[in-house]
Structure 1
Amino acid sequence: MSEIPKDPLKAILLDLECHFTWNLLKEDILFDVEDTIEQQLEFVTTESRLTLYNLLAYVKHLKGQNEDALECLEQAEDIMQREHSDKEEVRRLVTWGNYAWVYYHMDQLKEAQKHLDKIGTVCRKLSSPSDYKLEMPEIDCEKGWALLKFGGKYYHRAKAAFEKALEAEPDNPEFNIGYAITVYRLDDTDRHGCIKSFSLGPLRKAVTLNPGNAYIKVLLALKLQDIQAEDEGEKYIEEILDQISSQPHVLRYTAKFYRRKNSWDKALEVLKKALKVTPMSSFLHHQMGLCYRAQMTEIKKATDNRPTGEDKRRMDRLLTTAISHFEVAVQRDSKFPFVYTDLASMYVEAGQCSKAEEVFQKALHLENITDDHKHQIHYYYGRFQEFHGKSESTAMCHYLEALKISDQSSLRPKLISVLKKLAVKRLGRDASDVQSLCALGFVYKLEGARRQAVEYYERALRLDPENAESLAALCELRLSI
């Protein structure tokens, strides 16, 4: 092929199937994705090392580290030659596509073209209708793994990629693992208050096809626990603990199983084992904090929330320890909102409300998080303001903000209830509280009680004729009645 000028070259690059064309956005890189990939390269149980090096190369590129990206792609090619000789050329296409893109961004157009030529040769050899694209299930699988690693907003696309791969090879062990993990994640992200078990069948099949894979077994165990089949799940957990000694990404989910079973000591034992391998893992420190917090809750229940003597001393030790683990988790993971709200709640427990306020402010200013996470931050901050921040008005603002963000959250019924109670309480003290009148109007509108909503908005308008919220809501409601 003769040398292609830069603009036509980019048109060809955009037609490739590789990480650079799968619309994986820089702002969606998870905070600890590099650490996670490197851990999995050391303890691989799911994705192939080839897949992980390809993904790591793309992440390095997004961070402006193109030389490091090339090193990762060299590792991928080396693995390809050693481990995938049967389908070497097909599996290399994604790697070559990534090479071409990295060289293009480095303005090394001859190197980019060299890798395009390799892709073109394979496509012609296999009679592809496209000059630079080949429809193969291995490529769909690679795409699925990449989408899965970029977080929740990509899960539905990942599912579609794995489904496409499975259409070609229904019993392929790797394709089934990827599909099962994706559906498991979707069960959680799409649950909206009810437990879903769409992943149960895919997980069982994946375990059957991959009996030595500890990671897929631990997900099956957790799903069985979800559907009240904990005894069956624990059999898989026992198999896992016999099977592995130092796979932190498996141990952390094993600990989660025991934590949900209220076996705090067993959960902590497993977590400490995992922390020896990855001492700065935000996930592990968060789980440790949750276990210590749960032990505190047990003491509170046993002492009717009035611990004394040794119980009080143990409570204080557990509180200090929980805070220390949550603090590490916050330092290591800047995007996971539950770490913030859990740390803030522990500061409140310790009487350190100013520190809780600081943590909540950081959480409220998190960027690139889901609407569901924003919704929960506003809810918990509202609770903090209502009961510890001495500002019912601020609490009401955040309850309203939470309800406006998400109408599908499991917290929605609770939010409506707490907002309604707070508004009624405030109106009992001051019948001319416009904020509370508008809040009740909004709540009744959400519940479909339009006439009651109109009544409260009209009362608000009589007190504040220029209130834009009431005017807009009334216009909308009157048109719908």
Structure 2
Amino acid sequence: MKKEDTNITDHLTRLEQNRDLNLGEEAGTARTHNSLAYVKYLLGSYEEALANLKKSEELTKDCYGDNCDERLIVTYGNFAWLHFHMKQYAECKRYLDKLKEIKEKKTPVSTSVLYPHVVGEMAWALFKFTRKYYGRAKECFRKVLELEPEEGEWNAGYAIVLHRTESNCSKIAIQQLRRAIQTNPDNDELKLLLALRLARLKMFDEAKDLVESALEMSPNNPHVIRYVGKYLRNYGSVDWSISLLKRALDVAPDSAFIHHQLALCYKQKKEQLKDKFESQRFRHLSISHFEKAVTLDSGFIVAMAQLAALYSEDGQIGRADEVFQTALSTAKDKTSIQALYLYFGKFQQYSKCWPLAVRYYKDCLKMGPDTKDGKKSGENLRKIASKRLSKNRYDTRALGILEFIEQVTGWNQSTTEDCEHVLESTCNEKQ
């Protein structure tokens, strides 16, 4: 894993938060200490890396007792790696000998056995390091499930990475989330991920049952509360969501995710209010939590884009442009870049810079016409074209926009008859 593929400081902060929010999941915490050791190695803090590996070994032995040999392969390999780089070659050999003993005990004859836990730990490490590695992580989880299809850890990991990468209506992601819950019946976070997907498909009864079950079983788990808050913001009570997220913030004050969810709640409250003073108050509350989220996680691209859009709305155009430019230079994965194009298009549209707005909406649409952000950009482009055509039905720029949409999506609006349909739709929207 390459240091330049992630913001190593932000990654360290997230790992330390996961470690500090230890909720009795010793196996997961041991994995976190392994990842922390690697980050400390990258930062040149070898002694701290060594301490994290020792803690990982200790937690693994406490969790699995005499059956921990295979689960320690990765940790012992990391010990050997670290001691080698510390030029402690005798200690390096000692851990290599431990690995040799495990191998001989497990497979005295074969030298080509694939160890499931090595593949599984590789999957988790890739998944947690950066979004850029999600594809590799997905492949590792798929491979390890072929070896151990009933293992809860691998089913959960595969479900989460599919949730992060598959479209909202993906049957594959929903099926795997159901499978993961079967093999991890006490994992309430998985229940909430499934609830969010089911709600998008209007399957509210089952989604509501999952949310109530998760909240009842894990009322103080900040990882659970944050997703309950997200669910309520989207499909229930914004005020209740704010109340729950504030409670979660008491437990995890440095969670960028929770600050982000609170910012979105206050933004939604702002949009519901007609009173100008109250609307401005909630906009400033939203801005403050977006700022906190970005401060805690400087790679939180979507939060940066949303913050910039609110700065623009608040009349802080210079700050908005500065944040957007920072986000564009920081973004590494396709999903984040596409989201930025959408928000940057909105920013330019709000600033009355229509040519740049059209340019960024087009870039967003080209990156993925079937994604949520791509579809939104397509809608915004059609509205811009409709507005121009309402003033001049032969406007060549507007017709060019519609032709571009047709080329990218197959949405046919290039004929005069279709353009008239756009005008009719626009009039209906105004009514």
TM-score tier, shorter chain, comes to: 0.7 to 0.9
Contact 2:232 2:238 in 1 (8 A): yes
Give a deviation string over 1:308-335, Cα, whole Å, max 9, x none.
xxx3332222112111111111222222
Structure with bigger RCO (C-alpha 8 Å, 6+ apart): 1
Deviation string 1:37-94 (CA, Å, 9 cap, x unpaired) is 3343312559532222212211222222222111111011212332222322211111
Residue in 2 that maps onto 1:154: 133
On the 8 A contact 2:293/2:300 being kept in 1, the answer is no
Structure index of larger Rg: 1
For the Cα contact (< 8 Å) 1:31–1:335, is it kept in 2? no
Q: Partners of 2:43 and 2:113 in 1: how far apart?
A: 29
- Map of 2:428 onto structure 1: none
Q: Which deviates more, 59-68 or 198-207?
A: 198-207
In the TM superposition, what whole-angstrom CA distance separates every residue of 1:286-313 from its partner, at most 9, and x where no partner exists?
11011111112222xxxxxxx3xxx333
- Distance in structure 2 (CA, Å) of the matches to 1:153 and 1:46: 27
User: In the alignment, what sits opposite 1:330?
Assistant: 294
CA distance in structure 2 between the aligned counterparts of 1:176 and 1:46, rounded to whole angstroms: 18
1:218, 1:417 → 2: CA distance?
Answer: 30
Residue 389 in 1 paired to residue 351 in 2?
A: yes
1:374 is matched with which residue?
A: 337
CA distance in 2: counterparts of 1:46 and 1:238, whole angstroms? 26
User: What is the CA–CA distance in structure 2 between the aligned matches of 1:225 and 1:128, rounded to whole Å?
Assistant: 52
Aligned to 1:121: 101
**What is the letter of the counterpart of residue 411 of structure 1?**
D
Length-normalised TM-score, structure 2: 0.82
1:90 to 70, 82, 98: 70
1:109 alignment partner in structure 2? 89
Q: Take 1:123 and 1:400, find their aligned partners in 2: how far apart are those partners? A: 55
In structure 2, what residue type is equivalent to 1:263?
Answer: S
- Corresponding letter in the other structure for 1:391: C
> Deviations along 1:235-258, whole A, 9 cap, x unmatched?
222222222243222211111111
Does the 8 A contact of 1:197 with 1:227 survive in 2?
no
**Structure 2 residue 16 is the aligned partner of structure 1 residue 38:** yes
Output the aligned Cα RMSD: 3.3
Partner residue in 2 for 1:165: 144
Are residues 112 and 262 of structure 1, via their aligned partners in 2, closer, same or farther at CA, if it must alter by over 3 Å? same
Q: Percent identity?
A: 36
Gaps of 5+ in 1: 1-22, 300-306, 453-481
Aligned equivalents of 1:40, 1:414: Cα separation in 2: 34
Counterpart Cα distance in 2 of 1:198 and 1:269: 33
- C-alpha change, 1:357 and 1:328, in structure 2 (3 Å) is same
Instruction: Specify the SS of the correspondent of 2:68.
Output: helix
Alpha-carbon distance in structure 2 between the residues aligned to 1:403 and 1:220: 28
What is the aligned partner in structure 2 of residue 137 from structure 1? 116
2:178 alignment partner, one of 196, 204, 215? 204
The residue type paired with residue 385 of structure 1 is Q
2:395 & 2:232 partners in 1: Cα distance? 52
Q: 2:208 aligns with which of 219, 234, 243?
A: 234
Distance 2:315 2:12 in 1: 37
Q: Which runs of 5+ in 2 are unaligned?
A: 415-431
1:403 deviation in Å? 4.8
1:152-201 Cα deviation digits (max 9, x unpaired): 3333333333333333333233332223223322xxx232xx52232323
- In 2 relative to 1, CA 190–30 (structure 1 residues): closer, same or farther, beyond 3 Å? farther
AA of the residue aligned to 1:177: A
| Equivalenced residues, count | 410
The amino acid of 2:249's aligned partner reads L
Tell me: CA distance 1:111–1:170, structure 2 relative to 1, closer, same or farther (3 Å): same
The corresponding residue for 2:79 is 99
Letter in 1 for 2:97: D
Query: What residue is the counterpart of 1:251 in the other structure?
Result: 225
Q: Offset of 1:138 from its aligned partner?
A: 2.4
User: Closer, same or farther in 2 for the Cα pair 1:237/1:438, shift >3 Å?
Assistant: closer
How big is the shift at 1:223? Answer: 2.8
Amino acid in the other structure paired with 2:147: A
